[in-house]
Structure 1
Amino acid sequence: MSPGQRQLTRAAPRTAQGFVSHWTAVAGLRLHVRSRAAAGRPWVLLHGLAVSHRYLMPTAAALAGGPVHVPDLPGFGLSSKPRQVFDVEQHTAVVAAWMDTEGITGARVLANSFGCQVAVELAVRRPDLVSALVLVGPTVDPAAPTATGQARRWLADLAWEDERQARIIAADVRDARPRRILATLRLSVRHRIDHRLPLVQAPVLFLRGEHDPIAPTRWLRQAARLTPLAATDVVPAAGHNAITTAGTVVARQAMAFVAQYTVGK
């Protein structure tokens, strides 16, 4: 990450590099969203477990060709903290309601980790809202279908992550609280993304950091085989959080992929 990227991750709710914060009332919640206006087809970015919009900002800032929206899921970041811990389907319902409220349709949805589960569910339930998916390090690999299995892989990933992410992750954990994080993890492993991928109508790019132990090559190849229209690619020298540590590369790969399917549509 460059110094400018690190500053951008910590900027909200202040305006920075064209990104502004706003809150939308959705299903009795206040959903915080970082957005940058532009002409064209929208991008929507969905974060992973325990984190928020913050770690997505290096990729968000590098995207072009349309407005960029980066919401904090309920309970995370600067969004409302409901007592209830939401599962994948409930997060998906909130994201769909927010997009309906904002009039966002046909979005290019870029997600990481747990956010990929929400993105896939969104594409299945509301195909009108999604024109393409870019899934970076998607969970949950059926070969590690338990909270313990996922936790072990996350620990293994630490060796490949940039230590300068520590301040970002610490802020996100502070906002979400460990109880919510652990409960969300337990709910996430119940969602069978491998059962939902065959139902996705939109084109899907599966991405992984070269050293990502959470989403190994074997799992991405399996996921692509399950998906009607899919491709895979690798982010060189990156771990699971490639969207933070290699945001410019991820954005370039995402834009090249969606351009094949969404330009002019």
Structure 2
Amino acid sequence: MALRLARMSRAERRAAVAAPHPFLGFVSHNVCAGRLRLHVREHLTPGAPAWVLLHGLAVSHRYLMPTAAALAPASVHVPDLPGFGLSDKPREIYGPRRHAEVVAAWMDRAGIGPAGVLGNSFGCQVAVELAIVRPDLVSALVLVGPTVDPAAASAAGQIGRWLRDLAREDPWQARILAADLRDAGPRRVLGTLRRCVEHRMDERLPLVGTVPTLLLRGERDPIAPRRWLERAAARTPNAMVGEVPLAGHNAVTTAGAAVAALAQSSGTSCRAASSALAPPPAEPAS
């Protein structure tokens, strides 16, 4: 029997590849963050809550657009991190902390925050660093498929899990990935992977303070297994764990509406009622 997959709709496919042209109320802006020019895909609603979405390794704003569209009519901001997508390509390869500093500089300049911050994969590491270095900018954290599980904290371990995930993703994503890999280039992708596996997410999570934190995974995600999310949540002061049915690692792409609904619930309280959420287990007594 063929594996049932979460899939993108036709409108979501169009939204993913529309930039820099307007689509579904989203427009592209080129903004300054220090000496860098960032491309940001935005849907602006005056007075509405703000969300900032941070993409993962080797990709860009493109694959986040299904979740971004479902979060509207909130004010939604989806930057391409330095070196990726349509943003500037500095020679330096940034790790999570440096990316977080750039995001903070952009948010300050744009007057964004406090905002809900949603990251996927490597973007979760950037989101956590942002919450640590600039807690005033973060009202809630939503970490979808967070990396890196300490059980596979190597480039080989992450690549192996990524290859397993390919069979659990919507094949149409290949078009998005091809564009993103072209924009980033192999040097930056491999260099960022090294930064990714060096970053100790499990040691950083206790430092995010009491910001409401939702750790999400697609139920078929081999990169962020359930046991890793449960351990991560147990180390995070105000966290809960949830799963998105039928989705793999890129739940933000193939199950954007479900991810957005859970994210909006978490924006006010991690105690938001949802059958998909469950509290993390207590840490075992030492």
TM-score w.r.t. the length of structure 1 is: 0.97
Are positions 1:217 and 2:226 aligned together?
Answer: yes
AA aligned to 1:20 is V
**Cα deviations across residues 168-189 of structure 1 (Å, max 9, x unaligned)?**
1100000001111011001111
Q: Measure the CA separation in 2 of the matches of 1:7 and 1:149.
A: 33
CA distance in 2, matches of 1:27, 1:37: 23
Aligned to 2:20: 13
Which secondary structure state, in structure 1, belongs to the residue aligned with residue 167 of structure 2?
helix
What amino acid sits opposite 1:185 in the alignment?
L
Q: Does 1:91 align with 2:99?
A: yes
If each structure's helix is expressed as a fraction of its own residues, which one has the higher value? Answer: 1
Residue of structure 2 equivalent to 1:56 = 64
Helix, strand or coil at the partner of 2:172: helix
Aligned-pair CA distance for 1:27: 2.0
* Structure 1 position 13, deviation (Å): 0.4
Q: Which residue of 2 aligns with 1:124?
A: 132
Partner residue of 1:33 out of 35, 40, 44: 40
Identity across matched positions, percent: 64
| Letter in structure 1 aligned against 2:250 | N
CA RMSD in angstroms comes to 1.2
> Paired residue for 2:82?
74
In structure 1, the residue matched to 2:269 is: 260
In structure 1, C-alpha distance between the alignment counterparts of 2:187 and 2:72, rounded to whole Å? 37
CA contact (8 A) 2:122 2:196 kept: yes
In the alignment, is the contact (CA less than 8 A) between 2:43 and 2:73 conserved in 1? no
Write out the 4+ residue segments of structure 1 that deviate beyond 4 Å after TM superposition: none
1:4 and 2:11 aligned: yes
5 Å-filtered alignment, 1:237-252, equals 237-252=246-261
Q: Any residues of structure 2 matched to 1:154-233 within 5 Å, and which? A: 154-201=162-209, 202-233=211-242
Give the CA deviation at 1:259: 3.1
Deviations 1:37-93 (A, max 9, x none): 113221000000000000000000000462000000000000001111111111111
2:248 match: secondary structure: coil
1:105 paired to 2:120 = no
Amino acid at match of 1:24: V
Paired amino acid for 2:107: M
Q: Deviations over 1:227-265 (max 9, x none)?
A: 00000000001000000001011111111221337xxxx
SS in 2 for 1:160: coil
Partner of residue 23, structure 1 = 30
Partner of 2:279: none
The residue number in structure 1 matching 2:122 is 114
CA distance 1:65–1:15, shift in 2 (3 Å): closer
Q: Which amino acid aligns with 1:198?
A: P
| Count of residue correspondences | 262
| Gap change, CA 1:127 and 1:65, over 3 Å in 2 | farther
CA distance in structure 2 between the partners assigned to 1:119 and 1:83 by the alignment: 22
Structure 1 gap segments, 5+ residues each: none
Residue 5 of structure 1 aligns to which amino acid in structure 2? E
